Structure 1
Amino acid sequence: MPVCPNGHTSADGRYCDVCGDAIPAPPSAPAPSAPAPSAADPAEPPVCPHCGTPRSGRFCEADGYDFDTGTLYTVELSIDRAARAVPLVPQPRTGSAPAVSSWPSALVAADRAYFDAVLAEMGPDAAGLTFPPYCPERRVPLRGGQVRIGRRSASRGLLPEIDLGAPPEDPGVSHLHAVLLAQPDGSWNLVDPGSTNGTTVNGGTEPIPVNVPVPMRDGDRIHVGAWTTITLSLQEGPP
């Protein structure tokens, strides 16, 4: 029952039945406080900003995002397939592609003007030569210390990097006709080791001397066989 300030028990909860004093209202119960977080319920782990995968380590398991540096990583296969290496190459987050350089290369083509010059020089002996009606151009990268020009020969174990024995086969090319040799300063020299029909350069009519290195420059043209012209691209640049 309510009790007044003078200690009287009263049936009336507002005023005391004995002395008539006002009975104060009982204090309200405090609001229940929020339960403390349980140690068994940890905060949710951060997620990858690119794919939303929850973080389980430094790198995202889905796209390779580095949580520590904020760098997105992608996987690119190495050029050397025999090595089967798969290096991680960082890509800028802005989306811009990194600069890529290509190898120096040689453009191999059937040259009608060179073929006509060969016919004029051979005269009647060129009666059996015909220019190929279809001979697509192809580009061969210049890699390693030497690039051989010739025709493949399984019996001799010759596998030239620039193989002119594939159809349409140039009948005037020797199995080992000429060789491009890389120099320490990045330049290239051309050597004819003793081909049957000789090697000319840049439309010239006199073959280069046998076993004498001839320096090559970007854009130089090498003429071999009956119709083949090889144009050099020696400056590295975007593919």
Structure 2
Amino acid sequence: MSPVVCPQGHTSQATDYCDVCGAPLDAAAPAPVATPAASAPSTCAHCGAPAAAGALFCENCGYDFTTGSLPVPAPPPATPATPPATPSSTPTPAVAAPSPGPAQSAPTPVVPAPAGLDTPPPAGPDQWVAEIWVDPDWYAVQKPEDPIPSPGPPALVPLRERSVLVGRPSVSRNIHPKVDCGADSGVSRRQCQLNTDGQRWWVEDLDSSNGTYVSRVGDPIPTQPIPPGQRRELQDGDRLYVGAWTRIVIRKALPDEV
């Protein structure tokens, strides 16, 4: 006999009263016949692997054929923290560095010194001097107000530098000429400059107040100064006239003068 459904929805084998609630079953309808569930697919819809008939999950990827969802992946196991390395209680013996062999003495490069005022001139066949003297004839031409000092023996200044300043010293202005013209107030602090290449000499007026005059041996006292800023080459024995009474002879030194 087919089971029936009572008015309360219960399935009952009895046909007069419900087996569950006891309700009368005079007008009860027969229970619906259960429809077998659809068979599982033959392949996995996620990974495409073959699936056995009636299987609930894919054996390859775990796909749920009933719900159509993938399994939740398990969280990865926590990686244990690596403990810090404990220094060894036994000290590591130091390795002695190999003793250096005998040092090879490398040649020291020669760096040329920059040319300056105190640089000695290149070696030449002759040494030169500046002979400073009080010249009464030059004093008579200039006619200064200061009295002329007594003309004593000339002073000799060896010319050992490449560039030599002629003038009068000044401590406050830090001027210290190699050729010092002493008490001649007509000479500028920076009167003129003497320069050499080791064999020849030149003179250049430094825009002095009274000018620098040049003459050859035996010539009369000059009346025109050399132009400031222009070098004039000197011959052995040439005279420079500066200030009120100063005459400077630029000449080669005698054997006993240097």
Task: Output the TM-score relative to the length of structure 1.
Answer: 0.50
Judge conservation of contact 1:200–1:208 (CA < 8 Å) in 2.
yes
1:159 to 146, 152, 176: 176
Structure 1 residue runs of 4 or more that deviate by more than 3 Å after TM superposition: none
Unmatched segments (≥5 aa) in structure 1: 1-100, 120-125
Judge conservation of contact 2:187–2:242 (CA < 8 Å) in 1.
yes
- Asked whether 1:132 is paired with 2:132, we answer no
Distance in 2 of aligned mates of 1:149 and 1:132: 20
SS at match of 2:169: coil
Deviations 1:211-237 (A, max 9, x none): 000000001000000000001113x55
Q: CA deviation at 1:117?
A: 1.1
Residue of structure 2 in register with 1:170 after alignment = 184
Residue of structure 1 in register with 2:212 after alignment = 199
1:224 to 242, 246, 250: 242
Task: Output the TM-score relative to the length of structure 2.
Answer: 0.47
Distance in 2 of aligned mates of 1:187 and 1:102: 10
Structure of higher CA gyration radius: 2
Distance in 2 of aligned mates of 1:130 and 1:221: 22
Distance in 1 of aligned mates of 2:126 and 2:195: 18
Deviations 1:128-176 (A, max 9, x none): 22111354421000111111110011111111001113xxx00100000
Residue of structure 2 in register with 1:179 after alignment = 193
SS at match of 1:107: strand
1:188 to 172, 195, 201: 201
Equivalent pairs, count? 127
Letter in structure 2 aligned against 1:117? V
Judge conservation of contact 2:185–2:243 (CA < 8 Å) in 1.
yes
SS at match of 2:138: helix
Unmatched segments (≥5 aa) in structure 2: 1-124, 216-220
Deviations 1:11-52 (A, max 9, x none): xxxxxxxxxxxxxxxxxxxxxxxxxxxxxxxxxxxxxxxxxx
Q: CA deviation at 1:111?
A: 0.3
SS at match of 1:131: coil
- Identity within the alignment, %: 35
Structure 1 residues 1-239: aligned runs within 5 Å: 103-119=127-143, 126=144, 128-133=145-150, 135-165=152-182, 169-183=183-197, 186-202=199-215, 203-234=221-252, 237-239=254-256
Distance in 2 of aligned mates of 1:134 and 1:190: 25
Distance in 2 of aligned mates of 1:189 and 1:232: 10
Judge conservation of contact 1:115–1:131 (CA < 8 Å) in 2.
yes
Quickly say closer, same or farther: Cα 1:131–1:188, change in 2 above 3 A. same
